[in-house]
Homo-oligomer: A and B are copies of this chain.
Amino acid sequence: MQVGELSTPALVVDQEAFAFNLATMAAARPGRALRPHVKAHKCTAIARAQRAAGHTAFCAATPRELIGLARAGLGDDLLLANECLDESRLRALAALDARITVAVDSEATINAAARDGIGECLIDINVGLPRCGCAPDDAGRLADHARARGLVVRGVMGYEGHVVGLEDPEDRRSRCEISMTGLLDAHSVVGGEVISGGGTGTFDLNPWVTEIQAGSYVLMDTAYGAIGLPFRPALRAVATVISVSEKFAVADSGLKAFGMDHGNPKVEGGEVLFCSDEHVTFRRPRGERPHVGERVLLQPAHVDPTVAYHETMWLASGPGLAARIVDEWAVDLRGW
């Protein structure tokens, strides 16, 4: 089967670009220097490919992502890079046949982890992104509290999410350094062998961490594609043109097929006018009109919330709509 014969909308992974991205990252950040973040793809088949590329530790944003990884035999070293207070979920994590570490940034999250049988943690440090993480000055106190509650403190993590998408590499590097200086200061108090941080946008600009938490690199999206990274766009959606008018055409892929927080997807060979629930209205240059039934390819603006809408991704080899389908990958780590 070819990409142009799939029922639509459908997500398609370009096998060659995917392999290139895996290899490029594994060369820059071999083995444990990368902790692939599965929140970007929510797919154990992709996690297996990342493992085959040498990366044996993973991180995730939800308990269900970690449970799926453990059940897939990928539980060597799993980090919940997020705070969690949910008793049933933490107990489910603790019961896995896997090494589980959780991020903590408060006494409440430490107490929840200890209560529910979690053995190891990282102290999550706020390094500038207005999100989770304790103030660097609180790190030592929290590490002491975690140890007092019986947790092993493996080190620190801090995500420079306000930096990873900056367009200018020098700006990214210098602001990453500011963030990581705070993280290293906290680490000097906390101790432990792990300093975890980063993302796709700082994978080669952050020598301060022991491991980079990158997820988007393997599939990519137009937002990350705009800042000059060496990774190739490997994820597209294929849609069918279902209606054609004088000034625009409509394909069957809309707000329920794309995460929209970074804006509209891009349609290859055309311009997106707007998206609605199940439709993308677009036009081609010079008034060219597609025909009803024609397939079009779209590039998502933000990979993570796009993948989360889909049950499956199709691995395809070759260019464009004629690419041959070589595998079907379940998006099997969805939900919380």
Contacts and interface: CB of A to CB of B under 8 A. Distances in A.
A108 interface: yes
Contact of A292 (B7, B106, B292): B106
A293 B89 contact: no
B106 A243 contact: yes
Nearest to A280: B131
A228 interface: no
B242 A273 contact: no
A179 B96 CA distance: 59
Contacts of A281: 130-131
Contacts of A83: 242-243, 250, 252
A298 to B, nearest CB: 15
State the 10 A-B residue pairs at the shortest beta-carbon distance, nearest first.
Answer: A108-B292, A83-B242, A132-B243, A260-B261, A255-B305, A256-B308, A61-B278, A260-B260, A277-B304, A106-B292
B39 A276 contact: no
A50 interface: no
Interface of A: 7-9, 39, 61-62, 82-86, 88-89, 105-106, 108-109, 112, 126, 130-133, 135, 161, 240, 242-248, 250, 252, 255-256, 259-261, 273-279, 281, 291-293, 302, 304-305, 308-309, 311, 335-336
Contact of A133 (B112, B243, B304): B243
A46 B61 CA distance: 31
A82 B277 CA distance: 11
30 contacts: A8-B336, A39-B277, A61-B277, A61-B278, A62-B278, A83-B242, A84-B252, A85-B242, A85-B293, A86-B240, A105-B243, A106-B244, A108-B293, A109-B243, A109-B292, A112-B293, A126-B245, A131-B250, A131-B281, A132-B279, A135-B245, A135-B246, A161-B276, A255-B302, A255-B304, A255-B305, A256-B304, A256-B308, A261-B275, A308-B309
